[in-house]
Amino acid sequence: MLKNILLTSIRNIFRNPLFSFINVFGLAVSMSLGLLIILIIKDQYSFDNFHKDSDRIFRVNTKALRTDGGSENYASAPFPLGISIKDGYSFAENIVLINNQLNGDAVYRNVIVPVHGFFADSSFLKVFNFKLEKGNPSTVLNDPDGLILTTDAAKKIFGNEDPMGKVVKFDGYGEFTVKGVFEKLSAKTHLDFEIIASLGALPLLEKQGAIKQTLNNWNNYYSNYVYIKIKKGENEKEINAALAQISRKHYAERKLETRDKGYEFYLHSLKKISPGPILSNSMGKALPVVILLFLGILAFTILLMAGLNYTNLMIAKSLKRSREIGVRKVLGATRWQIFLQFIGESVIFALVSLAASYLILQFLKTALLQLHLVQEFSIDLTEDKWVYIYFILFAISIGIFAGLLPAGYLSGFKPIVVLKNMMSKKGSERQLLRKGLMVVQFTISMVFIATVFVIFFQMRYLMQVDYGINDKNILNVNLSGNDYKKLSVELGSVAGVQQIGFVSHRLGTFQDYSDNYKLKISDAPFVMRDFRADPNFISNLKLRFAAGRNFATDLPDDRETEVIINEKALGYFNFKTADEAIGQQIYASDSIALSIVGVVNDFHFRPMNYEIGPLAFRYRPADFQHMSIAFEPGSNDKIIKALSSIWKKADPVHQLEYNLMRQDIDDAYESSGFTDILKIMEYVSFLSIIIACLGMLGMVMYNTQLRIKEVSIRKVMGAGVKDVTLLLSRSFIWLIGIGVAIGIPLSYLLGNLILQNFAYKISCGIWLISAGGVITALLGLIAICSQTIKAALANPVKNLRTE
């Protein structure tokens, strides 16, 4: 039977080469997206699978309840929480405590290497199965100065020297001794590190002020991570109830962060961290499950359209194959055998399409690896033997899915009906089903194209809108810990440099500080974002002052005295006018007294996803991380060349990092993923309209072939090209019109849903949505007219010579 199915399927493929091409091409391009999703899913579900008893390992997450009624989930938790669990509860077999404040430069002799990592206690290697190439896993983190390096970090710091026992100095943290080196890790983990230092160093570092208060601070839920390996048989719900009890006990009378009214703790399985929910303070590069879901929905939609194409063309050809089915049934074939015959043909089509889709996949992988999203999450798209098995199973599943409706429909034909040409009722049912499927295809295509228009014009708006600042001819440079005054002196003499300012963070991105502010020392504070900047930076931005002045040029570096706020902040301090605020004293960080010397007009200091909020500028040189160079138009190349030369002498270790301010603002949207989403949607829209038009093309060709003699007779009787073209096209044009009509309200709803993510946005007007409908209709008409006009121009004599 299998041999018969195979031979019949191959014969049908070659008997109708054009229809076979349409089916294979549509399935191939859509399946290539499916193959890509399989690779991404395989990669994301491979995180942390190498740990023993990973089903019993959990991270404790924090849910911070805000005073405004909102909440925010964190992957981190307070350090004392782990101690309380260890001392007061028996459900934990082991507890791992991690502090994320170990970042900076590792110094060994004359070698300075930027590294990242964290502090961890000795339980780390007992719970997580990271193997050591050198060192004793039982004792490596016991001593306060203990340090473990990855092989790559050891190579960067020590070269070919044996790192064991060597002393490495970390700026601000003191000296640590290398007690171990990790084996090269081939598996993936959400724990992102190059170095791990002993948690025993924290008491001294905390006492010295090198790190934030952590050990006994229940409010510090953002610097620490708590992992628990629970005992066998323990219940997750009961443990969450115990965590709630701990929260109530320790926060009942404790003073909380000013924006918080309480905290909840809950377990998060190691197996569900990647892919997982979006959490603040997430460690590592695990892809949020919502992105995976988004990509999966897109791939499924395109696969659905290709499947509809296959279904449509198979049902359209049912009239030709109805006699074949009737004869088979008369000769003894059962409905189940006929059903399997068509399912088999569908699966073979899918397997042939798989070969073509694999070639398309190689192109997609190259394109996908260029996306910021893929680079940010280090998505690995390599293939192995299991992947190929998944691919084949996927193709078989698609074949079965695409063939179900045609197989069920065709296998239900009654032999006496088809052999006596009594298919008129069935024919009308067939046409109604085919038309419905084509409407669905063009509706989906129209929604995709309109969505691309919405995202494209929104992105263009964001990148062209006036932020209320001068973002032209300004170069942002990362100081990388260098002496800002020394760099300023050396760069000040470079031709083309107009002014050099300094700031804590790059403006217009997602980066800034936030602190507690209040008008009176007895007032309840509120959280306000701020930048630490000098007067030159504010001058470079050309901010307009509603009242007051810029910072004084002779402010002391070691203490703060002045502050500049924006107009939005006035209401938070209960000031009615900008002039009223000048000279008033406010408090930052609960106790730092600052005098308001200026009020600037509101401007966008964060991406346009956010509304303009209250903002402060503070003069605090210790927090300067970026240099802002205002330069004469056309002199940027010359300045960058001079800057590179000065940088190499001042800092031979760190690479020079710079960017134009406007480019920084534009890059912020790329890093947020909107640019990548636009590129993905463009590609998916292109595929959807190609598949829909191919399906329409196939149906028009088939319909034209069925009616070719009718058309020829009409032409002989005097019908013109216009009349014949309209005759053949009318029903298909109606289908496109219905698809567009349904797609317009759907596109409007989806477009507005997308725009809700932006505080400042374009209007999703009917003209924008209609543009997507017009493009969909035009492409559909081209597909229709390419065949109907050809049929109308054909010589009727050639088609009637046998009559």
Task: List pLDDT tens digits, range 755-794.
Answer: 887 888 888 888 888 888 888 888 888 878 877 787 777 7
Could you tell me the pLDDT band of residue 425, with boundaries at 50, 70 and 90? Answer: very low
Predicted local confidence at residue 61, as pLDDT: 95
- The answer to whether residues 489 and 510 belong to one domain is yes
Residue 660 CB: number of other CB atoms within 10 A? 16
Domain count for the chain: 4
Rounded to an integer, the average pLDDT of 64-90 is: 87
List, in sequence order, every residue forming a beta bridge with 533; answer none if it has no partner.
Answer: 503
**597-632: pLDDT as tens digits:** 999 999 998 888 788 999 999 999 989 999 999 999
Query: Is 280 within a domain?
Result: no
Residue tagged 């992992």 (tokens): 227
- The answer to whether residues 501 and 515 belong to one domain is yes
Using alpha carbons, select from 691, 693, 702 the residue that is nearest to residue 791.
702
Can you read off the two tokens belonging to residue 793? 């121009």
Can you read off the two tokens belonging to residue 157? 């710091």
Query: Is 467 within a domain?
Result: no
- The answer to whether residues 549 and 686 belong to one domain is no
- The answer to whether residues 417 and 537 belong to one domain is no
In percent, the amount of the chain with pLDDT more than 70 equals 94
> 690-710: b or e for each residue (b if 16 or more CB lie within 10 Å)?
bbbbbbbbbbbbbbbeeebee
pLDDT, averaged across the chain: 85
In percent, the amount of the chain with pLDDT more than 90 equals 32
**282-295: pLDDT as tens digits:** 887 777 788 888 88
Residue tagged 């019908």 (tokens): 719
Query: Is 468 within a domain?
Result: no
Q: What's the predicted TM-score (pTM) here?
A: 0.78
Q: What is the DSSP letter of 564?
A: E
- The answer to whether residues 428 and 339 belong to one domain is yes
- The answer to whether residues 519 and 576 belong to one domain is yes
Helices 674-706 & 289-316, crossing angle to 10 degrees? 10
Alpha-carbon gap, residue 60 to 227, rounded angstroms: 6
- The answer to whether residues 774 and 796 belong to one domain is yes
Rounded CA Rg of the chain: 34
Predicted local confidence at residue 344, as pLDDT: 84
Q: Which helix (H) or strand (E) holds 87?
A: helix 79-88
List, in sequence order, every residue forming a beta bridge with 230; answer none if it has no partner.
Answer: 92
Among the candidates 158, 179, 201, a domain finishes at: 201
Judge whether residue 415 has pLDDT over 70.
no
Using alpha carbons, select from 681, 689, 683 the residue that is nearest to residue 750.
681
Predicted local confidence at residue 337, as pLDDT: 80
- The answer to whether residues 64 and 168 belong to one domain is no
Among the candidates 664, 696, 714, a domain finishes at: 664
State yes or no: cis peptide before 415, omega within 30 of 0: no
Give the β-pairing of 167-170 and 103-108: antiparallel
Collapse the DSSP code of 487 into the 3-class scheme (helix H, G, I; strand E, B; otherwise coil) and give the result.
Answer: helix
Could you tell me the pLDDT band of residue 135, with boundaries at 50, 70 and 90? Answer: very high
- The answer to whether residues 519 and 656 belong to one domain is yes
Q: How many helices (H) and strands (E) does the chain have?
A: 25, 23
Among the candidates 176, 201, 226, a domain finishes at: 201
Longest dimension (CA), the chain: 104
- The answer to whether residues 438 and 361 belong to one domain is yes
Query: Is 406 within a domain?
Result: yes
Could you tell me the pLDDT band of residue 136, with boundaries at 50, 70 and 90? Answer: very high
Collapse the DSSP code of 693 into the 3-class scheme (helix H, G, I; strand E, B; otherwise coil) and give the result.
Answer: helix
Amino acid at 364: L
- The answer to whether residues 53 and 164 belong to one domain is no
State yes or no: cis peptide before 275, omega within 30 of 0: yes
Query: Is 466 within a domain?
Result: no
Q: Which domain does 56 fall in, by range?
A: 48-101+212-274
Give the β-pairing of 224-230 and 92-99: antiparallel
Among positive and negative, which fits the CA dihedral 409, 415, 418, 423?
A: negative
Query: Is 152 within a domain?
Result: yes
- The answer to whether residues 522 and 660 belong to one domain is yes
Query: Is 724 within a domain?
Result: yes
Rounded to an integer, the average pLDDT of 320-341 is: 75
Amino acid at 89: Y
Alpha-carbon gap, residue 215 to 223, rounded angstroms: 11
Predicted local confidence at residue 53, as pLDDT: 92
Q: Are 773 and 729 in contact (CB under 8 A)?
A: no
Collapse the DSSP code of 527 into the 3-class scheme (helix H, G, I; strand E, B; otherwise coil) and give the result.
Answer: strand
Using alpha carbons, select from 285, 243, 232 the residue that is nearest to residue 52.
232
